[in-house]
């Protein structure tokens, strides 16, 4: 073994051992993290030199980067780059701070869009300023723990992963560095989603096209913030300092916060999503860890893929749909009335008390045929 190889191996072993063997109070678990542990041996990467390459600039949720709804031409290699950032974020109006682990600095990470048959080529960077190992597990990918076994990197390292998008739908991705680190990283915000569109676009159950005018990505996040003896949320200097206390809260399976896009109110008020009457809007909703029940108050799911898989016919006219934990769902709705719509997790305790509420502000003309106030509030006559 060459000296440089020995230095790099020792550094990786040291960081891995610290994470798994006691520095943060954790114990080894049987979930693998690396290619060797998962029994993976890859060959030389196929050149794919005849395929065009497209580089995509990702954008912060709830927005989605520009993309074709119907693919032109054949498969492509779609290049993405994400930088992992560990950083404190404020998650509510009381100033509660969480030491978040993020893809590209946001909770959730950015939504990626490709078409079935395309190749996703991701450059993943673990910034030198971080303190932990990280990787990425794509639920859309096949083999090597969703790519997690091939992407485990230390601070100051990068890795390039390529996989073929073979199944159309919306899929979660998340960090999965092995053992007890997996849930900790996921509930610290390290998750996002990728949409693999059919090459001929979305279709209703009868095979008719379903183009959309707008698309928004809502990432639902459960946080587990420890409290002090007086019931106040605690604040820690580092994520490692918080680990033991946070793990105790995690084991109750009861989140202290259940929020959309990283914080209470992140998608309300001035940050509300927008649309116009007559526009068809695609909602993409992920929850990497817990079941959720999206509901649009005053609207419906015209077409819904609750588990997000476009090879299946969508359900129609749903009031509420169930997105299982570790999954991403999709729904299409054409707004028919103007006003403010609340988009919630219809566990209303989580929506109202824990923060899982967003708003849509919709412009246009009111249709009295759909709804009207026949009698305004009036005193009851005895």
The verdict on whether 65 is a catalytic residue reads: no
Give me the catalytic one of 106, 295, 327, 350: 295
Give me the catalytic one of 8, 200, 319, 353: 319
Question: Which two structure tokens, joined as six digits, stand for 323?
Answer: 């997105």
The verdict on whether 327 is a catalytic residue reads: no
205 contacts: CB under 8 Å, gap ≥ 6: 303, 313, 314, 316
SS (H, E, C) the chain: CCHHHHHHHHHHHHHHHHHHCCCCCCCCCCCCCCCCCCCCCCCCCCCCCCCCEEECCCCCCCCCCCCCCCCCCCCCEEEEEEEEEEEEEECCCCCCEEEEEEECCECCCCEEEEECCCEEEEEEEECCCCCCCECCEECCCCCHHHHHHHCCECCCEEEEEEEECCCCEEEEEECCCCCCHHHHHHCCCCEEEEEEECCCCCECCCCCECCCCEEEEEEEEEECCCECCCCCECCCCCHHHHHHHHHHHHCCCCCCEEEECCCCCCCCHHHCEEEECCCEEEEEEEECCCCECEEEECCCEEEEECCCCCCCCCEEEECECCECCCEEEEEEEECCCCEEEEEEECCHHHHHHCCCEEEEEEECCCCCCCCCCCCCCCCCCC
Give me the catalytic one of 82, 101, 112, 190: 190
Question: Which two structure tokens, joined as six digits, stand for 301?
Answer: 């799911």
Give me the catalytic one of 241, 307, 346, 361: 346
The verdict on whether 257 is a catalytic residue reads: no
Give me the catalytic one of 99, 115, 134, 285: 134
Give me the catalytic one of 82, 101, 112, 175: 175
The verdict on whether 6 is a catalytic residue reads: no
The verdict on whether 174 is a catalytic residue reads: yes
CA-CA distance, 56 to 79, in Å (whole number)? Answer: 6
Residues 247, 249, 251, 255: is their CA dihedral positive or negative?
Answer: negative
The verdict on whether 115 is a catalytic residue reads: no
The verdict on whether 190 is a catalytic residue reads: yes
The verdict on whether 346 is a catalytic residue reads: yes
Give me the catalytic one of 92, 116, 121, 139: 139
Give me the catalytic one of 86, 92, 137, 302: 137
CA-CA distance, 78 to 258, in Å (whole number)? Answer: 33
Give me the catalytic one of 174, 257, 285, 359: 174
Give me the catalytic one of 185, 257, 285, 359: 185
The verdict on whether 320 is a catalytic residue reads: yes
Instruction: Supply the residues annotated as catalytic.
Output: 134, 137, 139, 174-175, 185, 190, 295, 319-320, 346
């Amino acid at each position: 073994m060459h000296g440089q190889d020995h230095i790099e191996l020792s550094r990786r072993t040291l960081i891995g051992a610290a994470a798994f063997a006691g520095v943060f109070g954790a114990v080894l678990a049987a979930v693998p993290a690396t290619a060797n542990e998962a029994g993976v041996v890859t060959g030389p990467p196929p050149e794919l030199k005849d395929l065009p390459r497209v580089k995509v600039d990702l954008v912060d949720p709830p927005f989605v980067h520009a993309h074709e709804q119907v693919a032109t031409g054949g498969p492509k290699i779609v290049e993405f780059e994400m930088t992992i950032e560990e950083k404190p974020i404020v998650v509510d109006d009381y100033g509660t701070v969480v030491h978040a682990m993020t893809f590209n600095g946001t909770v959730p990470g950015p939504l990626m869009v490709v078409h079935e048959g395309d190749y996703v080529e991701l450059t993943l960077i673990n910034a030198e300023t971080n303190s932990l190992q990280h990787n990425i597990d794509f639920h859309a990918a096949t083999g090597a723990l969703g790519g997690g076994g091939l992407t485990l990197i230390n601070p100051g390292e990068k890795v390039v992963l390529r996989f073929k998008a073979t199944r159309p739908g919306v899929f979660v991705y998340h960090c999965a560095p092995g053992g007890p680190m997996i849930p900790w990283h996921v509930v610290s915000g390290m998750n996002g989603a990728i949409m693999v569109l059919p090459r001929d676009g979305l279709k209703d159950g009868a095979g008719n096209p379903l183009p959309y005018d707008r698309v928004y990505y809502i990432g639902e996040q459960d946080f587990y913030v420890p409290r002090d003896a007086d019931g106040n949320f605690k604040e820690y200097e580092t994520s490692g300092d918080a680990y033991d206390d946070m793990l105790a809260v995690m084991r109750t399976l009861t989140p202290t916060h259940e929020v959309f896009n990283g914080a209470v109110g992140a998608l309300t008020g001035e940050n509300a999503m927008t649309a116009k009457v007559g526009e068809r809007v695609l909602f993409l909703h992920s929850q990497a860890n817990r079941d959720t029940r999206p509901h649009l108050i005053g609207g419906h799911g015209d077409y819904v893929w609750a588990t997000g898989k476009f090879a299946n016919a969508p359900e129609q006219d749903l009031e509420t749909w169930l997105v299982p934990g570790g999954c991403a769902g999709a729904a299409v709705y054409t707004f028919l009335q103007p006003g403010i719509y609340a988009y919630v997790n219809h566990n209303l305790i989580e929506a109202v008390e824990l923060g899982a509420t967003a708003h849509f502000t919709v412009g246009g003309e009111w249709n009295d045929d759909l709804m009207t106030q026949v009698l305004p509030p009036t005193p009851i006559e005895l």
